[in-house]
A and B are shown apart, each in its own frame.
Chain A
Amino acid sequence: MGAQLRVYKRRIRAITATKKITKAMEMIAASRIVKAQRKVAASMPYATELTRAVTAVATGSNTKHALTTEVEAPTRAAVLLITSDRGLAGGYSSNAIKQADRLTERLRAEGKEVDSYIVGRKGVAYYGFRERKVTDSWTGFTDSPAYADAKRVAAPLIEAIQTETADGGVDELHIVFTEFVSMMTQNAVDGRMLPLSLDQAQEEDGAKGEILPLFEFEPSAEDVLDALLPRYVESRIYNALLQSAASEHAARRRAMKSATDNAGELIKSLSRLANAARQAEITQEISEIVGGASAMADATAGSDK
């Protein structure tokens, strides 16, 4: 076998192996999207009911709570960025990071200091490489987040917002995550969690214009709000984590699908080249044999004379 043909054969073998791996990853991701979507759907009733309750307290009582009233001149904001632990998911993490960068810039332009909180190894690595300050980070659960993970992430954020700004607390809480629209579409979005804007809460509830009854609060409106808001933040973070996980799997599936397709193309063109090389080799061998034979024939014909 000729040297060139051998090189082609080796490359085809290597790419076939890669294709098998990407194909497997594609199928694993595809099966996980369904699971992740189901989890998002299962968390919806709690989130909707909670948002309803928060809206009810905030509109149904004239309570002034630190977490629902906007500070006149906010000076510090926390940004929670949700990325993935693993790569090979196309632009998934970098899109979220870019969105966070844009948000950070906008907040800085408004004269606010920004504290970064990061979920996922990719985001941590990005900030670490650029030596940017990260206030807190969590890794290891972006594939399938549990409610306990959301609680863990929420705890320092809630603490920060309840602390006075002068003592290192924050006035605003923003979140950047990847919204799962469909199998083909996932958008990196940012949103403000706190202070709560009521229009937004009502919009999420999908019940704009619905008149909420006058509630009796047990024990009191302040206490209810005190207890509700941390749960509200946790539930929002949980929902964001779940949507991000679904988006991550969808992005990975897409990336791996195109990798598989590309490997197929590459194998096709390499086999063509290998075939051409083999054919050239055969042609050369034949012409060598023919040439040799005719030379021999000429020689014997000459000696006969």
Chain B
Amino acid sequence: MAAELHVEMVAADRNVWSGEATLVVARTTSGDIGVMPGHQPLLGVLESGPVTIRTSDGGTVVAAVHGGFISFADNKLSLLAEIAELADEIDVQRAERALERAKADADAAAERRADVRLRAVAGH
């Protein structure tokens, strides 16, 4: 059995996902970072972007995370985000509508949120 790390993805008001994984890729303010079991303790600021989790049974979980933190210690990884959604929870049509609306209103933050959602779904 390959080495595993325990992942907890929590949003402000709920627990989004938790389980065992072999690799977690997330986007920090200074670039993408991949965490594998046994990584050095880490605490980073996340950009809004998709997070990819390779689970220990070979599956892949993709989530859209809007800001937050990644912290890793003792083979436990926590992803803290104010808003986090798994790819299969995202309503594509709604995100597309939101993207168009955001483009029309020139709302950069909303546009980015919608874009991240769509990319998370596409990466699934």
Contact = CB atoms under 8 A, between A and B. Distances in A.
Interface in A146-173: 146-147, 150-151
Interface residues of A, number: 31
A101 interface: no
Contacts, number: 86
A53 interface: yes
How would you classify the secondary structure of chain B's contact residues: helix, strand, loop or mixed? strand
Interface stretch (A76-84, A89-97, A133-141, A208-216): A208-216
Interface residues of B, number: 26
A235 B13 CA distance: 10
A52 B71 contact: yes
B42 A53 contact: no
Interface string B77-116: 0101010000000000000000000000000000000000
A43 B14 CA distance: 6
Given A52-B71, A215-B73, A218-B33, A45 B43 contact: no
Given A216-B42, A219-B28, A219-B29, A49 B15 contact: no
B45 A212 contact: no
A213 B45 contact: no
Contacts of B68: 231
B43 A217 contact: yes
Contact of A213 (B13, B29, B73): B73
B58 to A, nearest CB: 26
B122 interface: no
20 contacts: A43-B13, A45-B10, A45-B15, A46-B10, A46-B11, A53-B43, A53-B69, A53-B78, A53-B80, A56-B73, A147-B12, A213-B41, A216-B42, A218-B44, A219-B28, A223-B29, A224-B69, A231-B82, A234-B12, A235-B12
Interface of A: 39, 42-43, 45-46, 49-50, 52-53, 56-57, 146-147, 150-151, 212-219, 223-224, 227-228, 231, 234-235, 238
